[in-house]
């Protein structure tokens, strides 16, 4: 008898209390070479809706996303996902998937890049069927045998998202998911993000595209010099930002790249 392959979401701790946030950050500090990239970040997020981390370059968005995933160990503070810290020895939190701004593709076909995802099925036949179904879902079924390294930028990003989605994460982290993509490719990716969230996966993303943030996000976390200055519903943030830094950011008055806080 083949072992049953469980949806990763079904493995969520059943005992997690209703009031326990999906994601909890306490006093997160990251200061390589005495440069404070993250400066005592505190955040509780229950995973309701799509959340966007925004702010100018150098604000700490990408570093925070990688810290949430467990790829970066903070110098101070703690990250808890579903009430748990990352176990020692694990490279990242189980139940999460991270799509980088420039995701690496393996040599081989688009299909090959999905077949390497661990745990998607017990048998080779079922792995192939699930991978092909995912390619269909992201609009790449006809390119299943195409070399992944020769796909367009938009196609590669959809493939990277498909690879993450195939893992059935409970939290999907996206770092600038449409950077450098043309409008058509951007529209494809944004629709995928909506579908992933509708499928029951919580989404946390970074983006410099404020139009995209207004279209996709329900909530905004505004970072400035490694600190969380605002956290608010997206409509309220754009209509009535509370801090001077957020107002300057929306008006384009902040420098495009900020030096890290000291």
Per-residue pLDDT tens over the stretch 20-46: 789 999 999 999 987 889 999 999 999
Chain CA centroid to CA 251, Å:
26
Q: Give the CA-trace dihedral at 78, 55, 50, 115, to 10 degrees.
A: -80
**pLDDT for 261:** 45
Q: Which of 50, 43, 49 is CA-nearest to residue 80?
A: 43
Output the CA–CA distances (angstroms, integers) from residue 88 to 12, 71, 141, 169, 239, in the order listed: 19, 12, 39, 20, 43
Q: pLDDT confidence of 252, banded at 50, 70, 90?
A: confident
Phi and psi angles of residue 103, each rounded to the nearest 5 degrees, phi first: -80, 140
**pLDDT for 3:** 31
Strand-pair partners of 26 = 78
**pLDDT for 254:** 58
Q: Write down the residue that tokens 């529209």 correspond to.
A: 187
**pLDDT for 80:** 93
Q: pLDDT confidence of 19, banded at 50, 70, 90?
A: low
Burial of 54 (0-12, 13-18, 19+ CB in 10 A): buried
**pLDDT for 67:** 95
Per-residue pLDDT tens over the stretch 156-189: 999 999 999 999 999 999 999 999 899 999 999 9
Give DSSP secondary structure letters for 122-179: SSHHHHHHHHHHHHHHTT-GGGTTSBGGGS-HHHHHHHHHHHHHTT--SEEEEESTTT
Per-residue pLDDT tens over the stretch 87-118: 776 778 889 999 998 888 989 999 999 999 98
The half-sphere exposure of 128 on its side-chain side, counting CA atoms within 13 A, is: 6
Instruction: List, in sequence order, every beta strand (DSSP E) within the chain.
Output: 23-30, 38-45, 50-54, 76-81, 84-85, 96-99, 171-175, 202-206, 219-224, 227-233
Query: What is the pTM for the complete model shown?
Result: 0.88
Domains of the chain, with CATH numbers?
47-74+83-105+154-251 (3.40.50.300), 107-150 (no CATH)
**pLDDT for 89:** 64
**pLDDT for 246:** 95
**pLDDT for 113:** 96
Q: pLDDT confidence of 258, banded at 50, 70, 90?
A: low
Phi and psi angles of residue 123, each rounded to the nearest 5 degrees, phi first: -110, 155
Per-residue pLDDT tens over the stretch 61-80: 999 999 999 999 999 999 99
């Amino acid at each position: 008898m083949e072992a049953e392959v469980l949806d990763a979401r079904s493995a969520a701790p059943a005992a997690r209390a209703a009031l326990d946030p999906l994601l909890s950050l306490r006093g997160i500090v990251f200061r390589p070479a005495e440069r404070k990239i993250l400066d005592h970040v505190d955040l509780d997020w229950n995973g309701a809706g799509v959340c966007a981390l925004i702010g100018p370059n150098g604000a700490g968005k990408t570093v925070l996303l990688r810290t949430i995933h467990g790829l970066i160990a903070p110098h101070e503070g703690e990250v808890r996902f579903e009430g748990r810290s990352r176990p020692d020895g694990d490279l990242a939190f189980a139940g999460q998937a991270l799509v980088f701004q420039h995701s690496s593709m393996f040599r081989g076909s688009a299909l090959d890049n999905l077949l390497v995802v661990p745990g998607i099925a017990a048998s080779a036949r079922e792995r192939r069927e699930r991978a092909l179904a995912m390619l269909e879902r992201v609009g790449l079924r006809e390119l299943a045998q195409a070399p992944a390294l020769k796909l367009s930028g938009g196609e590669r990003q959809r493939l990277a998202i498909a690879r993450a989605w195939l893992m059935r994460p409970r939290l999907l982290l996206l770092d600038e998911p449409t950077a450098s993509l043309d409008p058509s490719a951007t529209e494809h990716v944004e629709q995928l993000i909506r579908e992933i969230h509708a499928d029951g996966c919580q989404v946390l993303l970074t983006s410099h595209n404020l139009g995209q943030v207004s279209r996709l996000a329900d909530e905004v976390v505004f970072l400035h010099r490694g600190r969380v200055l605002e956290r608010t519903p997206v409509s309220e943030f754009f209509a009535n930002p509370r801090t001077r830094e957020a107002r300057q950011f929306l008006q384009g008055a902040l420098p495009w790249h900020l030096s890290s806080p000291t």
